[in-house]
Amino acid sequence: MTLIPERGLRALALAAGLLAATCAHADDTYPSKPITIVVGYSTGGANDLLARVVAEKMSTLLKQPVIVENKPGAGSIIGANFVAKAKPDGYTLLMGASGPISFNPSLYKKLPYDPQKDLTPVSLVGTFPLVLLTQKSNPDTGSLPALAAYAKGHPGKSNYSASSASFQLITELFKRRTDTQFEYIPYKGSYESVMAVSTGDATMTLADSGPAMQGISGGRVRPLAVTSPSRTGFLPDTPTMKELGIDMNVELWSGLFVPAGTPPAVVRKLEATMKTIMDDADVRKRVEGMSITPVSSTSKAFAARIAEEIPLWQKVAADAGIQPN
């Protein structure tokens, strides 16, 4: 055993004290200037709207302006990479989503950022299930068992619409869990995917909650199931996949991130701030109005969720023969 001289022990104690004081100081003084929340999507989408709700409340709580800056493009890679490369001081945040964080490692050979190494999760903000939709006027697809039977009885003719590779991956998981085959038809956006089902151009789709609710309210598509672990407030009469005997629990999410290397005290302060924000009754009402479930989480729990999701989607992609770009 090596003994440390008394002088060395005093130096170590002093260094530890200085580090603790620095962390405490960072927590006390942060923030001292405006904060920017980067959104990797265009204005008007779910992530953008969530960021603006959060920014408004965060500005009040932290007593500093909080600005939302949209950096869309390349499947949100541009926005995520911008924050990953930003100074890790807590003044550049990312309103991230499951697509660029959990799905992209399965879809791209080489991302300009590593979702787990270059970004630190702060807190979840909202989760939203996918809704399994079929054409309301089609009597052959009025339930999940009927849809499965229809697909097995019409090989090569049953198909699904999806607006991105992320939704393709989720539907590939659905196909495996239900032992069915549906041909993939790509569409430009989620609303277009829902419209394809409403007109009968696609047999089914798994749509995120906003476009799904718009299609349901139009009266031309029917919800068969949701992919969340429990029923949702906006579709209380629609069963979960689990209730129907399908082992499929998938929720898309939005959440707040900072660049890796951000001081732990700053991360803790933002984490606590997000809990206060997402517990606020007005915030919850506004988020629920978007057909999104408002949530918060610890940084550690959020990181653990991402660590589970990335290998899941990598396996689904490999099993489906989907080659990364």
Spatial CA neighbour of 68 closest among 77, 79, 78, 81: 79
Q: Are residues 133 and 217 in the same domain?
A: yes
Q: Are residues 136 and 123 in the same domain?
A: no
Instruction: Report the distance separating Cα 200 and Cα 198, nearest Å.
Output: 6
Coil, strand, or helix at residue 130?
strand
Q: Are residues 169 and 112 in the same domain?
A: no
The pLDDT assigned to 1 comes to 38
The pLDDT assigned to 165 comes to 86
Q: Are residues 178 and 115 in the same domain?
A: no
- Can you give the C-alpha Rg of the chain in angstroms? 22
Q: Are residues 117 and 180 in the same domain?
A: no
Distance of CA 208 to the CA centre of its chain: 11
- Residue 161 DSSP one-character state: E
Phi-psi sector, 314: left (phi>0), alpha (psi -120 to 50), beta:
alpha
Domain that holds residue 84: 33-127+252-320
Measured in degrees and rounded to the nearest 5, phi and psi for residue 226 equal: -115, 155
Question: Do the strands 66-70 and 183-186 form a parallel or antiparallel pair, or are they unpaired?
Answer: unpaired
* CATH number of the domain to which 184 belongs: 3.40.190.10
Residue 5 lies in a domain: no
Q: Are residues 163 and 97 in the same domain?
A: no
Q: Are residues 118 and 136 in the same domain?
A: no
Task: Please state the pTM of the whole predicted model.
Answer: 0.86
Q: Are residues 289 and 210 in the same domain?
A: no
Instruction: Report the distance separating Cα 24 and Cα 13, nearest Å.
Output: 16
The pLDDT assigned to 324 comes to 84
pLDDT tens for residues 192-245? Answer: 999 999 999 999 999 998 899 999 999 999 999 999 999 998 999 999 999 999
The pLDDT assigned to 18 comes to 54
Residue 24 lies in a domain: no
Indicate the average pLDDT of the chain.
91
Residue 247 lies in a domain: no
Q: Are residues 120 and 257 in the same domain?
A: yes
User: Looking at the 3D structure of the chain, how many domains does it have?
Assistant: 2
pLDDT tens for residues 133-179? Answer: 999 999 999 999 999 999 999 988 899 999 888 999 999 999 999 99
Residue 2 lies in a domain: no
